[in-house]
Structure 1
Amino acid sequence: MNALLEDLKWRGLIAHSTDLDALGAHLDEGSVKFYVGFDPTAKSVHTGNLVQILLAKRLQEAGHQPFMLVGGATGLIGDPKESGERVMNSKELVHEWVEQIRGQVSRFLSFEGSNAATMVNNYDWTAQMSVLDFLRDVGKHFPVNRMLARDVVARRLEAGISYTEFSYVLLQSMDYRELNRRHGITLQTGGSDQWGNIAAGVELIRRSDQKRVHAMATPLLTKADGTKFGKTESGTVWLDPELTSPYAMYQFFLNAEDAKVIDYLKVFSFRGREEIEALQQATIEAPFRREAQRALADDVTDLVHGKGEREAVVAASAALFGRGELQSLSDQTLSSVAREVGGGTFEGDATVVDALVAAGVVDSKGAARRAIGEGGAYLNNERIEDPELVLTPEQLLHGRFAVLRRGRKTVGIAERV
């Protein structure tokens, strides 16, 4: 088998493919043009999309040429989902999201050299197409009985599915054919939840243009209990730092389960097989050290937010629990950490007891006083001695933040307003 495919298979990145042997032979012939698509159904991509972005990066580093499609047209329709009809967002909002996602995706790839990446938008070839041309040129190649047999469509039939969402597969299939015609693209990648759409594109090209092209899909990542990876109690883990802070992303990957962390490392890290297998052994022998989790959190945060941000959140995490200097943390870092660890606000003339309650580390002023009396309450990592201490800007980080801690593990941040 082709060496690249061998590595992808070892990393667990191949769930479906048209013909792996044929694809391997095609990759061996030279630089292959491939594409992966992202629909702008939100202002940001998330960790599930990151799997596809990093797969594209791996393919590019192996010498192949990526075309990254952001679906200004398909994003106006929406792929059918099992829970029901999607909300139809306005064209203006979708086009705004297209530009935001283009900017996010492009940061991971190289746009220089012989296999430079290219960004494309399916709105460019879809918007001016007439309904008659679409039905005659695309629709005639899609047997309705096969469309009805698609899993998500079959499950939606009883409750009802609009013709708009039912026809989504035609639009995505047309994308593959159009990119093959325009740019000579011969490989599409995506998630396994898109396999029906991807395979339909391969079939459309075979039926209409009598050409053989290739496709490959990655598995959906799950947690040990089988639930979807990339979700937290507060929602999706986004790549946009305004939606998911670098601190929150780092903590999310740092908390990966022992049973799954090596699987995630293979997918999200560019470490080699020998190093990952060493981390696997370390997880077996000394799971409490969480070496694999730290490697995973480091690598993902470096890729998404940069090494500087990662170092800042590592320093913040240590400093919150008394193992580093809080004074060295920037205002921006403290603001993002405050959003994650929780807390509230206090007035300008508040005492440290008020701040302890506002930060959420105790339930009441009485509990705050008891914690102080027992020597277990800390303000900015300094033990609190006087419960009547009034907090002034000089005693706060950047003049407004108070990091309150009870014992070793209960931390909150209160902000002076």
Structure 2
Amino acid sequence: MTVFEELKRRGLIAQMTHEDKIEELLNNEKVTFYIGFDATADSLHVGHFLQLVVMKRLQMAGHRPIALLGTGTTLVGDPTGKTDMRPMLTKEQIAHNAECFRRQMSKFVDFSGDNAKIVKNGDWLCEFKYLEFLRDVGKFFSVNKMLTAECFKSRLEKGLSFIEFNYMIMQSYDFLHLYRTEGCKVELGGDDQWSNILGGVDLVRRVEGEEVYGMTFTLLTTKEGKKMGKTEKGALWLDPEKTTPYEFFQYWRNVGDDDVINCMKLLTFVPIEEIESMENLTGAELNPVKERLAFELTRMVHGEDEAQKALETARQVFSSAANSEDMPTTVLTEDDFENGEIGILALLVKCGLAPSNGEARRLVQQGGISVDGEKVADPKYMVKIDDFVVIKKGKKVFHKASK
């Protein structure tokens, strides 16, 4: 199976500019490609992780990745998927964030020798003079066409700042610059970047008269279309100081039954044939698959030792508490759920762990409640139960809630 066939079989590919030519390139040549990462925080998160997995997979197939750190584009801010303008960061903040990204990326991609490269687009974008950029680059972009892009259309009613309107042009120029300096022929990114990628492909064609290519990857979402990687504390970070290895493990251990196989395909290096053999499993049969998913991803992000510790801790919780015959259990009905979820306050009252919503709220706010080993601090937290969850009140009270 070729690398292109595997990308398709795993469901990773969303859109392509020239499918036949991209397939031929990836299967028969050593291709230089790039993915951009705007340095908006001091850690990569799980959405970036999917892109790093793709980079690693293509590098293993003999291709040459370029990780572009957006030290220039982050000064502007990508409006894609945002209802409001992004907070403006200083150059010093962006430089710090980019350095954090660089260290984390090195765990996944081999940047030794000429195997791969990290570049910063501030090195060329910040050197441009404004009028020069308008005349040399801006003249190739149609405002009418840009306004049809989804990233702009969704913002027009609420308001799109002029600085954000420049983002697509800047990202497009990145592709032109990397084509000229690195022989880069393909830009990859999440499917929400499709319009920006098309801008770069078109700019290279107009300026250089050459054909380059764009390909986007499936966004990491649940079967219902909700973006994955959000926890009660916010994003699921790759930095262990922001999301502990155990919290990271538990997130994946608790994914929904409908999502675990897809996550295995998109994010792990488990052979696709082995994953496909799991597709008919249901209910409790999927628990070992979820555990394997959690272990594989934690190992990739935090290393073998931390993954093993997280696995053992999780098993202790379930073996000493969840499987105890003496442990009280509350069986919930469909009437207790709304859209497949139940609020943490209602759950505590239903299980008899709190006499009222007010007392349940106090327990949550004081840090006395955990669900499946993860502390809950938001009284509005919604709990999804596929088989059962273990609720811990204080240090010694365990209670099982099941469907």
TM-score normalised by structure 2 residue count: 0.79
> Aligned residue for 2:84?
84
Distance 1:320 1:192 in 2: 38
Asked if 2 retains the 8 angstrom alpha-carbon contact of 1:52 and 1:190, the reply is yes
Could you tell me which amino acid in structure 2 is paired with residue 95 of structure 1?
A: A
Distance 1:165 1:277, change over 3 A: same
Asked if 2 retains the 8 angstrom alpha-carbon contact of 1:26 and 1:32, the reply is yes
Asked if 1 retains the 8 angstrom alpha-carbon contact of 2:229 and 2:236, the reply is yes
Distance 1:289 1:151 in 2: 37
Mark the structure with the bigger radius of gyration.
1
Q: Give the 3-state SS of the residue equivalent to 1:241 in structure 2.
A: coil
Distance 1:296 1:110 in 2: 23
> Aligned residue for 1:405?
396
| Alpha-carbon shift at residue 323 of structure 1 (Å) | 4.3
> Aligned residue for 2:153?
154
> Aligned residue for 1:8?
7
Could you tell me which amino acid in structure 2 is paired with residue 305 of structure 1?
A: H
Could you tell me which amino acid in structure 1 is paired with residue 246 of structure 2?
A: Y
Distance 1:190 1:199 in 2: 11
> Aligned residue for 1:183?
182
Asked if 2 retains the 8 angstrom alpha-carbon contact of 1:279 and 1:291, the reply is no
> Aligned residue for 2:291?
294
Could you tell me which amino acid in structure 1 is paired with residue 295 of structure 2?
A: D
Q: Give the 3-state SS of the residue equivalent to 2:278 in structure 1.
A: helix
How well do the aligned residues superpose, as a CA RMSD in angstroms? 2.2
| Alpha-carbon shift at residue 321 of structure 1 (Å) | 5.0
Asked if 1 retains the 8 angstrom alpha-carbon contact of 2:3 and 2:27, the reply is no
**Number of residues of Structure 1 aligned to a counterpart in Structure 2:** 335
Distance 1:406 1:321, change over 3 A: farther
Gaps of 5+ in 1: 325-357, 363-402, 411-417
Distance 2:129 2:23 in 1: 38
Percent identity over the alignment is 40
Distance 1:23 1:64 in 2: 13
> Aligned residue for 1:105?
105
> Aligned residue for 1:383?
none
Asked if 2 retains the 8 angstrom alpha-carbon contact of 1:31 and 1:63, the reply is yes
Could you tell me which amino acid in structure 2 is paired with residue 109 of structure 1?
A: V
What are the equivalent positions in structure 2 for 1:7-406 lying under 5 Å apart?
Answer: 7-81=6-80, 82-112=82-112, 116-281=115-280, 283-284=281-282, 287-288=284-285, 290-321=287-318, 323=320, 360=368, 404-406=395-397
Distance 1:361 1:196, change over 3 A: closer
Asked if 2 retains the 8 angstrom alpha-carbon contact of 1:268 and 1:299, the reply is no
Could you tell me which amino acid in structure 2 is paired with residue 404 of structure 1?
A: K
* Residues 152-196 of structure 1: per-residue CA shift (max 9 Å, x gap): 212222322111100100100000110010010001100000110
> Aligned residue for 1:379?
none
| Alpha-carbon shift at residue 242 of structure 1 (Å) | 1.1
Distance 1:312 1:185 in 2: 41
Distance 1:322 1:265, change over 3 A: closer
Asked if 1 retains the 8 angstrom alpha-carbon contact of 2:185 and 2:213, the reply is yes
Could you tell me which amino acid in structure 2 is paired with residue 100 of structure 1?
A: C
Could you tell me which amino acid in structure 2 is paired with residue 317 of structure 1?
A: A
Could you tell me which amino acid in structure 2 is paired with residue 88 of structure 1?
A: M
Could you tell me which amino acid in structure 2 is paired with residue 185 of structure 1?
A: C
* Residues 313-352 of structure 1: per-residue CA shift (max 9 Å, x gap): 112223345649xxxxxxxxxxxxxxxxxxxxxxxxxxxx
List structure 1 runs of 4+ shifted beyond 6 angstroms. none
Q: Give the 3-state SS of the residue equivalent to 2:396 in structure 1.
A: strand
Distance 1:273 1:314 in 2: 23
Asked if 2 retains the 8 angstrom alpha-carbon contact of 1:71 and 1:122, the reply is yes
Distance 1:289 1:15, change over 3 A: closer
